[in-house]
Chain A
Amino acid sequence: DQQVKQNSPSLSVQEGRISILNCDYTNSMFDYFLWYKKYPAEGPTFLISISSIKDKNEDGRFTVFLNKSAKHLSLHIVPSQPGDSAVYFCAASPDYDKVIFGPGTSLSVIP
């Protein structure tokens, strides 16, 4: 059973609009959450993270929101750009040494 779920395999958004990628988790012991971005034929690259003691973290156009009671987090990209088209992985960690990844959401930003 997947501990980190990304229920939307794909998402299409117009350039300039907001992209919202969602992630749900089942393990209440997760206390650190990350988003990675992956282009084809490349390794994932770290995008943004959030600790469970926070409910929001912002870095430029990217904001991650955490709702611990709902075991839900989301990544907002505003404004979306064509170069944001990639697969986005949500990940969660219960300790220093293990990070559990979701299945990914493929984002297409249409010019």
Chain B
Amino acid sequence: NAGVTQTPKFQVLKTGQSMTLQCAQDMNHEYMSWYRQDPGMGLRLIHYSVGAGITDQGEVPNGYNVSRSTTEDFPLRLLSAAPSQTSVYFCASSFRDRSLHGYTFGSGTRLTVV
């Protein structure tokens, strides 16, 4: 099925560990982004990419790295996990225009840092 695939769905990390959250889309979307969802805060933009080889920071980029080597994939790397990074992470993609279709989101990764 076409869409955005995120793996893993759940992850528990110890403080200081690193990991990569995977995101892949098969809709040939130019734009991809990572959000985190926290209670009362809505969705906050971490990093985004407007095409292969191009990335930029969002509202809350500290502690996260991204790269975009292909159109399909946009992994999010946690360099040294902290309890403040406990959250639900969503990857989204879209065509880079002002179409009325909005973003397509993945089903999320629930991360707990202990």
* Chain A count of residues within 8 A CB distance of the other chain: 27
Is B98 a contact of A51 with CB atoms below 8 Å? yes
Chain A nearest CB, measured from B55 CB (Å): 11
B40 touching A101, Cβ below 8 Å = no
Digitize A4-30: 1 where CB-to-B-CB distance is under 8 Å, 0 elsewhere: 101001000000000000000000000
| Given A41-B107, A44-B90: A89 and B43 interface contact (C-beta under 8 Å) | yes
B26 at the interface (CB under 8 A from A): no
Q: How far is the CB of B32 from chain A (nearest CB, A)?
A: 11
Question: Assuming the A-B contacts A89-B43, A103-B41, are A97 and B102 also in contact, with contact meaning beta carbons closer than 8 angstroms in the complex?
Answer: no
Q: How many residues of B contact A (CB 8 A)?
A: 28
Given the known interface contacts A96-B96, A97-B56, A98-B48, the answer about A43 and B42 at a Cβ–Cβ threshold of 8 Å is no
Of A47, A49, A96, A102, the residue contacting B42 (CB under 8 A) is: A102
Residues of B within 8 A of A97 (CB): 31, 48, 50, 56, 96
Given contacts A44-B90, A98-B45, is CB(A103)–CB(B40) below 8 Å? yes
Q: Are B40 and A34 in contact (CB under 8 A)?
A: no
Cα–Cα, bound, A41→B106 (Å): 11
Asked if A103 and B42 make an inter-chain contact with CB atoms under 8 angstroms apart, the answer reads yes
From known contacts A101-B42, A103-B40, infer whether A46 and B104 are also in contact, taking CB-CB under 8 Å. yes
Q: Name the residue in B50, B101, B103, B108 with the highest tally of chain A Cβ atoms < 10 Å from its Cβ.
A: B103
**A10 → chain B closest CB, angstroms:** 12
CB distance from A67 to the nearest CB of B (A): 20
Q: How far is the CB of B30 from chain A (nearest CB, A)?
A: 10
Contact A46 B42 (CB under 8 A): no
Cα distance A62–B100 when bound, in Å? 14
Name the B residues within 8 Å of A42 (CB-CB).
107-108
Chain A residues with CB under 8 Å of chain B are 2, 4, 6, 9, 32, 34, 36, 41-47, 49, 51, 89, 91, 96-104
Known: A46-B103, A98-B48, A103-B42. 5 other contacts (CB 8 A): A2-B42, A43-B4, A44-B43, A99-B103, A100-B45
